[in-house]
Amino acid sequence: MTQTVNVFQLASQLAAHATKRQSLIALNVANADTPGYKARDLTPFADSFNSDSTMSLRTTRPGHLQSSFQPQNAEVVTESNFGAESPNGNSVSLEDQMVRASEVRMQHDLAMGIYAKSLQILRTSMGRS
């Protein structure tokens, strides 16, 4: 039932986008000393959101559901901040990656907050508290 309510789909896609972006940030931090490594990030959620996408669920084992959603049109882009490239060609700035990790945390918290409040509103409208 919750899959037909657009706000739940939007919150789920925002959380999935934040998850994918966090994994790229972790990869950037892990390769901060790798010569020639270029920092990568996802396109912003607002640019990659596709209202026609659907979220499908699949069972991986009895009693367990997992979202198979992949952010639609979310493209991995190589980013190089001016002055951040080191002499060995690495473009990872740890300070910049920590700021991005903080942004991702806020996006994920926003998605979970939207989901929780929407669920609370839905329950209240059905006469449950």
Which pLDDT score, from 0 to 100, does residue 69 have?
A: 46
pLDDT of residue 89: 85
Q: Are 73 and 48 in contact (CB under 8 A)?
A: yes
Contact 74, 82 (CB under 8 A): no
Is residue 127 over pLDDT 70?
yes
17-54 pLDDT per residue, tens: 999 999 999 999 999 999 999 999 988 888 776 544 45
What confidence tier does 68 reach under pLDDT thresholds 50, 70, 90? very low
State pLDDT tens for residues 69-116: 455 556 677 766 655 678 888 889 899 999 999 999 999 999 999 999
How many H-runs (helices) and E-runs (strands) does the chain carry? 3, 4
Q: Please check whether residue 109 is in contact with residue 22, taking contact to mean a CB–CB distance below 8 angstroms.
A: no
Residue 30 confidence (pLDDT): 94
Q: What is the pLDDT of residue 46?
A: 82
